[in-house]
């Protein structure tokens, strides 16, 4: 029973870390990468669809993305979707290919991005601590119902704390890497 609770905690905390990784890829650094446009939606054929379903996205150099629409008639719609996204990008059409140059980040913008990154990290840590709280509550309930001994409860609490510390350490490492990435020029 305790092993199941610890396994559940590990799984749920791992999902929190995956969610954080997902959020961090949306925050742009100075380098171009295709995941930057993952959340951009384009209105085509009367419905919104992810950009990745309407075009091929490639990195042409460290500061430029190239987008090749599958249907050449959608070029203007794709350009408009990128321009109106919250990324602050200015796409340029070059015939059948759309080029998206990434402007260099200013020092002020970098510091703003770091604040956002830290906020995301704190949200992940809160989620991890909430999972710990839930699991510890379940362990206490087991002890109250005399399904486990007090010694087992103490051991389980220590194990859950170790799992929590491991996952918050992973969050700290991810934040450190992203902050270093953001401060590179």
* pLDDT at residue 162 is higher than 90: yes
Q: How many domains would you assign to the chain?
A: 2
* Residue-level pLDDT at 28: 64
* Local structure of 101: helix, strand or coil: strand
pLDDT in tens, 16-33: 999 888 888 777 666 677
- d(CA 57, CA 48) in angstroms, rounded, equals 18
Average pLDDT of the chain to the nearest whole number: 85
Confidence of residue 105 (pLDDT cuts 50, 70, 90): confident
* Residue-level pLDDT at 30: 63
Domain closes at, from 101, 116, 148: 101
Confidence of residue 109 (pLDDT cuts 50, 70, 90): confident
* pLDDT at residue 104 is higher than 80: no
* pLDDT at residue 39 is higher than 80: no
Radius of gyration of the chain (CA): 22
CATH number at residue 150: 1.10.132.20
Q: To the nearest 5 percent, what fractions of the chain are helix, strand and coil?
A: 65, 15, 20
pLDDT in tens, 62-103: 788 888 888 888 888 888 888 887 677 788 888 888 888 877
94 and 79 in a single domain? The answer is: yes
* pLDDT at residue 134 is higher than 90: yes
pLDDT in tens, 164-178: 999 999 999 999 988
* pLDDT at residue 61 is higher than 90: no
97 and 110 in a single domain? The answer is: no
pLDDT > 90: what percent of the chain? 28
CATH number at residue 85: 3.30.1360.40
21 and 111 in a single domain? The answer is: yes
130 and 165 in a single domain? The answer is: yes
* Residue-level pLDDT at 129: 94
Task: Name 113's Cβ contacts closer than 8 Å, sequence gap at least 6.
Answer: 27, 28, 105, 182
Nearest CA to 164 out of 122, 117, 127, 120 is that of 127
* pLDDT at residue 35 is higher than 80: no
Domain closes at, from 101, 122, 157: 101
Nearest CA to 163 out of 1, 11, 4 is that of 11
71 and 55 in a single domain? The answer is: yes
Domain closes at, from 73, 101, 129: 101
* Residue-level pLDDT at 29: 64
Range of the domain at 162: 2-26+106-183
């Amino acid at each position: 029973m305790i092993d199941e609770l610890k396994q559940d905690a590990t799984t749920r905390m791992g999902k929190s870390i995956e969610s954080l990784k997902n959020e961090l890829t949306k925050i742009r650094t100075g380098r171009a990468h295709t995941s930057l446009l993952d959340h951009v939606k384009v209105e085509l054929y009367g419905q919104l669809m992810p950009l990745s379903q309407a075009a091929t996205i490639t990195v042409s150099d460290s500061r430029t993305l190239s987008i090749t629409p599958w249907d050449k008639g959608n070029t203007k719609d794709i350009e408009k979707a990128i321009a109106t996204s919250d990324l602050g990008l200015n796409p340029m059409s070059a015939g059948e290919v759309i080029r998206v140059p990434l402007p260099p980040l200013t020092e002020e913008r970098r510091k703003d991005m770091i604040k956002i990154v830290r906020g995301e990290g704190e949200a992940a840590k809160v989620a991890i601590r909430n999972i710990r709280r839930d699991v510890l509550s379940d362990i206490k309930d087991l002890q109250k119902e005399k399904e486990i001994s007090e010694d087992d409860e103490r051991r389980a609490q220590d194990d859950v704390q170790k799992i929590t510390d491991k996952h918050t350490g992973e969050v700290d490492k991810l934040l450190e890497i992203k902050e270093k990435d953001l401060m590179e020029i």
